A and B are shown apart, each in its own frame.
Chain A
Amino acid sequence: MLVENIFHMRTKFWHGLLSVFVTVLLIADAQLTSTALRNQQIALPPAPTSTILVAAAASLQKALQEITPLYTRANPSQTINYNFAASGVLARQIERGAPVDVFIAAADKQMNDLQKQGLLASDKIDLLTNQLVLIVPWQSTNLTSFRQLLQPEIKRISIGEPRTVPAGQYATEVLKSLGLLELVKSKLVLSNNVKSVLTTVETGDVEAGIVYITDAKSSDKVKVVVIADRKLHSPIRYPIAVLKSSKSIAARQYVEFLQGQSAKAVFKKYGFGIAKP
């Protein structure tokens, strides 16, 4: 009763709103149906096209988007779609049956999880390496080391959520190795992917952040304070594999292409290291 009588008011207004919604739905539906019909007619003689879905770590976004046209120029019948997110998020999606053909993670852990469950069609190959850096907003002053994160002026530090975001996992390893983790814990903002860590530092809403060197290079609104010593965290490797659920032959072709010279040149340009086989 109570809740009901609130909405008794202005019944006319709601009726009006409802009829607008219904009209919009009808128009949208008619549009979709006609497009679908048209597409069906065109698609009758099936063209030998194939689409592959690549689930890739968020840090790869810019590099892969530059590589895609190189690949599709060589293979015009193929379309590559991407799902960029934190590796942990992608691994969960794949476990739950997302129709992914190729997975590129930013850490071994997520790939190993899938391997243990028998979801990989091929052995994983280490594709790339990366480095971790401490960044601050461009106009920002005087940070020179991780230790200075203890300064009271540093109120917020953005890192990836360590359970799902590999960059966050590496970042906590670094802070832990330096004995800083417990001391700065209350300053840590845990983002859901490494790109949003970069954004919060770019806007200046946090005083510092920990991202990959490739992310830092892609932005002119942040500056690198220091590169984390490789000894402070487990090696940053990007494994790639074709998934068992993939029905596409093109998937293997795409994985091979990413290991070729033209793809490597792009990865290097963005600051990635090429993993030794």
Chain B
Amino acid sequence: MLIPDLSPLWISLKVSLLATVIAFGVGTSVAYKMYHYRGKARSIVEGFLIAPLILPPTVVGFVLLVLLGKNGVLGQILAQWNLRLVFTWYAAVLAAIVVSFPLMYRAALGAFEQIDSLLLDAARCEGASELTVFWYIALPLAMPGILAGTLLTFARALGEFGATLMLAGNIPGQTQTMPMAIYFAVEAGAIEEGWFWTTIVVGISLVGIMAANSWKV
């Protein structure tokens, strides 16, 4: 069969890798903050952080579009600097970060909560700064859980479709990811093309799972 234009593969990898890196950084640090935070607003804040996982992607896409669209609050601020996000590949990255963030956050929080907090306190007693405690005690101890979360985050980012289509649009060669290519191929009755992309996505997923298993401690 004819091999279709491979751009959806590169776009998907570019978008989901970048989204994973950002979600990893933000998710881990927010989780560490929340691990220490015991204030009244905890459940509300946690609710907001987890919400994109529970909401349908179309709801996430709609809200982002309303905020970032040309007439949206954030969209107008961006427009002042002559920037636009909607219908660019950055929008695809943003959509992927938002929907995959809760997985990263939950995983990191769970991993931090499993650490024996006496170890952290012991370090503090010895005079370690909070930053040192984080980098040399908390993060290494939580790393297995965080890595598992990173993998889930990448998988979710790679599979993101609904919010991405709404926010980044279907622009072949720019924002058309593999899930989008599959959707439009099937709608057009191009079953072979649908199979081609499905095979690639399944292949990437299998490799990911095998990699995760080989990391197992």
Contacts and interface: CB of A to CB of B under 8 A. Distances in A.
A205 B144 contact: no
Contacts of B107: 6
A151 B192 CA distance: 37
B56 interface: no
A164 interface: yes
B170 A203 contact: no
Contacts of A186: 171, 173-174
B57 interface: no
B182 interface: no
Interface string B59-70: 000000100011
B84 to A, nearest CB: 7
B75 to A, nearest CB: 8
A161 B170 contact: yes
B15 to A, nearest CB: 17
B186 to A, nearest CB: 8
Contacts of A158: 169
A88 interface: yes
B8 interface: no
B216 A1 contact: yes
Contacts of A9: 109-110, 113-114
B106 interface: yes
B171 A189 contact: yes
A205 B187 contact: no
Nearest to A5: B145
Interface in A157-171: 158, 161, 163-164
Nearest to A96: B189
Contact of B184 (A6, A8, A192): A192
Most buried by B among A6, A88, A91: A6
Interface residues of A, number: 31
A182 to B, nearest CB: 13
Contacts of B187: 86, 88-89, 92, 161, 163-164, 192
Contacts of A204: 69-71
Give the dominant DSSP class at A's interface.
mixed
Interface in B163-183: 165, 169-174
Contacts of B106: 6
Interface stretch (B124-132, B146-154, B197-205): B146-154
Nearest to B148: A2
A6 B170 contact: no
Contacts of A192: 165, 170, 184, 187
Interface string A60-89: 000000000000000000000000001011
Contacts of A6: 106-107, 110-111, 145, 148-149
A5 B113 CA distance: 11
Nearest to A85: B187
B151 to A, nearest CB: 8
B86 A205 contact: yes
B212 interface: yes
Interface string A184-195: 001011111000
Interface string B187-216: 111100000000000000000000010011
Contact of B169 (A7, A95, A191): A191
Contacts of A205: 65, 69-70, 86-87
A6 B112 CA distance: 10
Contacts of A223: none
B181 to A, nearest CB: 11
A8 B109 CA distance: 11
A237 interface: no
A155 interface: yes
A239 B57 CA distance: 36
Nearest to B188: A163
Nearest to B114: A5
Contacts of B144: 2, 5
Given A88-B187, A188-B171, A203-B70, 5 more contacts: A95-B189, A163-B188, A191-B170, A200-B169, A205-B69
Interface of A: 1-3, 5-9, 86, 88-89, 91-92, 95, 155-156, 158, 161, 163-164, 186, 188-192, 200, 203-206
16 contacts: A2-B144, A2-B145, A2-B212, A5-B110, A88-B189, A92-B188, A95-B189, A161-B187, A188-B172, A189-B171, A191-B169, A192-B187, A204-B70, A205-B65, A205-B70, A205-B87
Which 5 pairs of residues, A with B, have the shortest CB-CB distance? A2-B148, A163-B188, A204-B70, A189-B169, A9-B110
